[in-house]
Homo-oligomer: A and B are copies of this chain.
Amino acid sequence: MSKSLSANDLKKVCKVPFFEGLSIDDISNLLNHSSVIETPKGRLLFSQGDVADKFYVILEGRVKLFLTNEEGEESIIEIYGAQSSFAEAAMFASARFPVNGETTSASRLIQVEGPSFLRVLQENKEMCQKITTQMARRYRSLQNEIIHLKTHSPAQRLGVFFLSLVGDAQGQDVVLPYSKNLIAARVGMKPESLSRALGRLKEIGVICEKDRLRVENLESLQAFCKD
**A binding-site residues for B, Cβ under 8 Å:** 67, 70, 75, 77-78, 88-95, 98-99, 121-122, 125, 128-129, 131-133, 135-140, 142-147, 149-151, 153, 185, 188, 190, 226
Centre residue among A75, A122, A151 by max chain B CB count within 10 A: A151
5 further A-B contacts with Cβ under 8 Å, apart from A93-B137, A98-B147, A122-B129, are A67-B151, A75-B150, A93-B136, A95-B137, A132-B135
Given the interface pairs A132-B128, A135-B139, the reply to whether A146 lies near B90 with Cβ below 8 Å is no
- Please tell me how many copies of the chain the complex holds: 2
Closest chain B residue, CB of each to CB of A67: B151
A-B contact pairs, 17 of them (CB 8 A): A67-B147, A75-B150, A75-B151, A89-B137, A89-B139, A90-B140, A92-B135, A93-B136, A121-B132, A122-B125, A131-B132, A139-B139, A142-B142, A142-B143, A145-B146, A149-B150, A153-B190
Residues of B within 8 A of A133 (CB): 92-94
